[in-house]
Chain A
Amino acid sequence: DTEVTQTPKHLVMGMTNKKSLKCEQHMGHRAMYWYKQKAKKPPELMFVYSYEKLSINESVPSRFSPECPNSSLLNLHLHALQPEDSALYLCASSQGRTVAEKLFFGSGTQLSVL
């Protein structure tokens, strides 16, 4: 099983809503990532978890709150988002053993903030 599964695939939310994005992998990977991708732009790193601990936060606003409950799951909690936060949110994982590893990506959650 070499898949990274993200749910939901699409999400529409108002600026006052609270929602969560979910990411799951069963490859035994110990590093997991959240990327944000605006249309026609490259992905931008948001967060990195290594062995369930947050190791990188790329100065992401606090309205995005990551959580790694266990080595297979990664969540991104959303609260009070702005319309400019509308984007494709991609989850990825890697083995977590060394630097510059091959990343396995999910298909993403297309988020629209109204």
Chain B
Amino acid sequence: AQKVTQAQTEISVVEKEDVTLDCVYETRDTTYYLFWYKQPPSGELVFLIRRNSFDEQNEISGRYSWNFQKSTSSFNFTITASQVVDSAVYFCALSEAYAGGTSYGKLTFGQGTILTVHP
């Protein structure tokens, strides 16, 4: 069974601080995909990143960066110089990956981390 744990329920920071959101996952699959989604107060989930299990390179996109470590089954997300607009719920998710067509969208989500950035 797959499981995603986001141990931080809520994080509160002041603008311009750096913040790291933790994500630990469990899976028996050797091939899998990891995601981060952002859910602002407007409700829609916004895709941030998708990483497959064979690609352990860290990624940076503007103020966002991700650290994928298979050895510790972690896929952490760091926001540098946080801004008020970063306030949202952030979900880490894990997707199985097997042929057959029935694994579309079967994401296992973590419980989410509520990030509040104060001015």
Contacts and interface: CB of A to CB of B under 8 A. Distances in A.
Interface of A: 4, 31, 33, 40-43, 45, 48, 50, 55-56, 88, 90, 92, 94, 96, 99-108, 110
Contacts, number: 81
B99 A103 contact: no
Top 10 A-B residue pairs of the complex, sorted by shortest distance between their CB atoms: A42-B109, A100-B33, A100-B95, A105-B45, A107-B43, A108-B43, A107-B44, A105-B44, A99-B103, A102-B47
Interface string B75-119: 000000000000000010101111101111111011110000000
Contacts of A92: 45, 105
B98 to A, nearest CB: 7
Nearest to A33: B105
Contacts of A43: 45, 91, 107, 109
Interface residues of B, number: 30
Contacts of A56: 102, 104-106
B47 A103 contact: yes
Give the residue among B101, B105, B109, B112 with the most A Cβ atoms within 10 A. Answer: B105
A55 B104 contact: yes
Given A100-B95, A103-B45, A108-B44, A45 B106 contact: yes
Contact of A104 (B47, B93, B102, B109): B47
A99 B47 contact: no
A66 B56 CA distance: 38
A106 B42 CA distance: 10
A37 B109 CA distance: 11
